[in-house]
Amino acid sequence: KAKDDNKSIALLESSYLDAAKESINYYRQLSQQLYHRDIPYVLLMHVGAFDAEMLPRLLKVYRSAGFQFVTLEEAENDDFYRNDTDLRLPVSPDSLEQVMSARGLPLPAPPAPAPQPDTLCR
């Protein structure tokens, strides 16, 4: 594990989970402002060793925040995704940020960036 740099590994792991928590709060804030509810969010992840290592803890973070997991098909049945899944409909904004901008609403401050990889695991 990264030249046994346990301090940097711990920082990377905690910053990863902190970023997930900040992202949850940010996107819930947007969804509540726009729709007065949580939309079914889609969790997109990259496949790699670090993601695999962190997945159990990441899922615990989401479950602690009250999330339940559904299939992509179930999520896409929500009205938020309608224009993405029904090609007969006109193109519309496909992210919460784009909907906010299209409605002329100010975006809240985005989550803070995580530590940069070049400062970790040397």
Q: Residues in the chain, how many?
A: 122
Q: What's the mean per-residue pLDDT of the chain?
A: 88
82 or 1: which leads in pLDDT? 82
pLDDT score recorded for residue 53: 94
What is the amino acid identity at position 90?
Answer: P
Taking 80 as the threshold, does the pLDDT of residue 119 lie above it? Answer: no
Q: Where are the domains of the chain?
A: 2-104
How far, in Å, CA of 119 to CA of 116, rounded?
A: 6
CB atoms within 10 A of CB 111: 16
pLDDT-above-90 percentage for the chain: 63
Average pLDDT over every residue of 101-112: 90
Q: Please give the pLDDT value at position 120.
A: 59
> Cα separations (Å) of 13 from 28, 110, 114?
23, 20, 10
